[in-house]
Structure 1
Amino acid sequence: MTPARPCVLIPVYNHEQAIGRTCAAIRERLGLPLLLVDDGSDPACAATLDALAAADDVQLIRLPRNRGKGAAVKAGLAEAQRRGYTHALQVDADGQHDPADLPAFVADLAADDERLRIGYPRFDASVPRHRFYARYLTHGMVWLDTLSFALRDTMCGVKLFPVAATRRLLARHGCGERMQLDTELPVRWVWAGGEVLNLPVRVHYPLDGVSHFALGRDNALLVAMHLRLFAGMLCRLPRLVWRHVKRTTGRNDA
């Protein structure tokens, strides 16, 4: 078994108060190289990232303007492939995910492991209740779009991407430049027959209280994405139903 060569991919946009502590916590738990993607941050955050990039295990790439989380993740994946990393563990910059839960994502990882390892949150009392319940709107759409419960939570900001396989999928389907990527990529992964491993991640909201969700713009983009995925599900319906029947029959035979 050829060992994997993973890195940690962190898209950053104006999280200068949190990113240093996030990097330190990840470094302590994982000891993996960090790939920071500056998504057009303001000067204060850009300066913080420059200081972090002075460390030997931190690499920084910078987008000239803010393009969104999806664009930052795509740019990071392209850079990860260029540098020869086999896997990229995406972690949000704001420190809301418990670093103690991250080693499970890279445990026993082989270079040819093409499973999408995706986190599902274990919230503490700090989670805003409207966010907690609103997530189930997306969960329901995802379960409908895939005709399965293969994806427990697509919106979690911790995902381990097999770099080459993910970039092949993105070459066929853009999956959006902003927050649409979080959900659209896993749905299309399942449609393509890719394997998914769901792992728990404890979540505390959040370290610096900064949210970049633009209510009007991002909700409109997400609605359009869900409509597009629902239409895609209808086109794939016979194949998805047949896949479900085979899984069910296989379990019954066992």
Structure 2
Amino acid sequence: MFNPCVVIPVYNHEHAIDAVTQAVRASGVHCILIDDGSSVACAQVLNRIAAQSPSEVTLVCHTINRGKGDAVITGMRKAADMGFSHALQIDADGQHCIADVPRFLEQARNQQDALIVGYPQYDESVPALRLYARYLTHVWVWINTLSLQIKDSMCGFRVYPLKPVLALAKRQRIGARMDFDTEVLVRLFWEGIRVVNLGTRVGYPADGVSHFRLWRDNVLISRMHATLFFGMLIRAPRLLARKWGKA
């Protein structure tokens, strides 16, 4: 049975999360908010949101900041415990087009074994450097999957079937921070989970807060790509056989 919820990892987005949560709730989907060790000010906002709508919002708290990836996995585990089958992941800063939530969920309903993965559609205002930097990861993902099937592995707007993700997380340590979105997607692709790409508008954060740490996260992402590359070499015969089998 298809029973989705929305999982939103939150770290110090007190100026945006109320509006994001209200917009998501308008779609009639239960929200699971994960406070990833936020400041007192953000924690107060999250507690208020959860207290005002206990039947529509569940709040789970990390006592310290553990990273986006760990927060998402925590939210997914809670979702599974609550009986949900799928989790739509969306960022807390307002950069994603929440009006697309019903469209993503409809795709997931029609293709329940697939990953529904957003790929950003930027307007002309996006800085060129931002686009070029993303293409470095795109190229590595294409190498590490021996496929062009994943259009964008960095967009945090996607719908996961919970069972395969949680099974993967149980046996494989996945990146806990900004490396999570790409790594989990590549590893699920290796396991044969089908990826459905869905374009969606992406803007700049409503509260102007970015938690990307230039040196730390670039080191984590570079290490992730290297690890995945060697993992791909081991799996290359099977990945190529699967690719040729579909040709």
In 2: Cα distance, 1:128 partner to 1:101 partner: 24
Can you list the C-alpha shifts for 1:40-62, whole angstroms capped at 9, x where unaligned? 00000000000100113011000
Deviation of 1:124 (Å): 2.1
Task: Report the TM-score when normalising by structure 2.
Answer: 0.95
Q: Which residue of 2 aligns with 1:43?
A: 40
In 1: Cα distance, 2:116 partner to 2:181 partner: 13
Task: Report the TM-score when normalising by structure 1.
Answer: 0.93
Deviation of 1:109 (Å): 4.5
Report 1:94-243 matches (<5 A).
94-107=93-106, 109-110=108-109, 113-243=112-242
AA in 2 matched with 1:61: V
AA in 2 matched with 1:151: I
Can you list the C-alpha shifts for 1:132-173, whole angstroms capped at 9, x where unaligned? 111000000000110111111010010111111210111122
Relative to structure 2, which stretch is displaced further, 159-168 or 7-16?
Answer: 159-168
Q: Which residue of 2 aligns with 1:14?
A: 12
In 2: Cα distance, 1:128 partner to 1:86 partner: 37
AA in 1 matched with 2:131: F
Give the 3-state SS of the residue equivalent to 1:9 in structure 2.
strand
Give the 3-state SS of the residue equivalent to 2:183 in structure 1.
helix
Residues 111 and 37 of structure 1: CA distance in aligned 2, closer, same or farther (over 3 Å): farther
In 2: Cα distance, 1:205 partner to 1:98 partner: 11
Give the 3-state SS of the residue equivalent to 1:121 in structure 2.
strand
Residues 58 and 111 of structure 1: CA distance in aligned 2, closer, same or farther (over 3 Å): farther
Deviation of 1:200 (Å): 1.0
Deviation of 1:26 (Å): 1.6
Deviation of 1:220 (Å): 0.7
AA in 2 matched with 1:33: H
In 2: Cα distance, 1:52 partner to 1:121 partner: 28
Give the 3-state SS of the residue equivalent to 1:168 in structure 2.
helix
Gaps of 5+ in 2: none
Give the 3-state SS of the residue equivalent to 1:53 in structure 2.
helix
Give the 3-state SS of the residue equivalent to 1:61 in structure 2.
strand
Give the 3-state SS of the residue equivalent to 2:25 in structure 1.
helix
Deviation of 1:111 (Å): 9.9
In 2: Cα distance, 1:26 partner to 1:132 partner: 27
Give the 3-state SS of the residue equivalent to 1:218 in structure 2.
helix
Deviation of 1:12 (Å): 0.1
AA in 2 matched with 1:220: V
Give the 3-state SS of the residue equivalent to 2:206 in structure 1.
coil
Q: Which residue of 1 aligns with 2:22?
A: 24
Give the 3-state SS of the residue equivalent to 2:189 in structure 1.
helix
Give the 3-state SS of the residue equivalent to 1:16 in structure 2.
coil
In 2: Cα distance, 1:126 partner to 1:16 partner: 26
In 2: Cα distance, 1:112 partner to 1:153 partner: 19
In 2: Cα distance, 1:242 partner to 1:108 partner: 28
Residues 145 and 27 of structure 1: CA distance in aligned 2, closer, same or farther (over 3 Å): same
Instruction: Report if the CA contact (8 A) 2:108-2:115 is conserved.
Output: no
Over the matched positions of the two proteins, sequence identity in percent amounts to 49
Q: Which residue of 2 aligns with 1:66?
A: 65
Instruction: Report if the CA contact (8 A) 2:107-2:116 is conserved.
Output: no
Pairs aligned (count): 245
Relative to structure 2, which stretch is displaced further, 32-41 or 201-210?
Answer: 201-210
